[in-house]
A = this chain, B = another copy of it.
């Protein structure tokens, strides 16, 4: 494979936020010319497909300021520094859905926007849910509403683009194709 690596000769951090940071790198290209790369740094995240006893998938409806609208997603959340994804996944499942599980299975991982961001999402699933006796609170700036759908209902929403979030749509199709749901 040809090596198209870009060497950084200058890097500037423009912004350091609570979720993301922004960095602009000056790089030298394979042909010797130079360019600027605008890079969003993200801590990485998890997403979980929780399936209930009666074979329904638990979704969350959440307002997304970036889109200025409420969308349907599977439960998800950011990694805390140094945290193992399976730990984050269990916490997010508990906080966002009020369910817990002793059997969380790793499914796959993927980069969401490699053109400008390093975000990676680790996907988990569980089919053995039990209700938490003492529900946890979501993050203080997070408001979600639950929604349970069969695979057929969810697939119809993917097709109509009412499920419009890539990680959610991909997770559903991945599990369906693997025969895991």
Residues of A at the B interface (CB closer than 8 Å) are 1-6, 8, 14-15, 17-20, 22, 24-25, 27, 29-31, 33, 35-40, 42, 45, 61-67, 70-71, 73, 76, 78, 108-119, 121, 140-141, 143-145, 158-159, 161, 164-167, 169-170, 173-174, 176-177
Contacts and interface: CB of A to CB of B under 8 A. Distances in A.
Contacts of A38: 15, 17-20
A65 B39 contact: yes
A148 to B, nearest CB: 14
Contact of A116 (B1, B42, B62, B114): B42
A110 to B, nearest CB: 4
B39 A66 contact: yes
B15 A141 contact: no
Given A64-B115, A65-B6, A174-B173, A166 B22 contact: no
A114 to B, nearest CB: 4
Nearest to A168: B110
Given A14-B22, A22-B15, A70-B4, A40 B110 contact: no
Nearest to A37: B65
Contact of A114 (B20, B36, B165): B165
Contacts of A76: 115
Given A4-B143, A19-B116, A169-B170, 19 more contacts: A3-B70, A4-B61, A4-B70, A5-B70, A14-B22, A33-B140, A33-B141, A39-B66, A40-B116, A40-B117, A66-B113, A66-B115, A66-B118, A110-B166, A113-B113, A117-B117, A173-B174, A176-B177, A177-B177
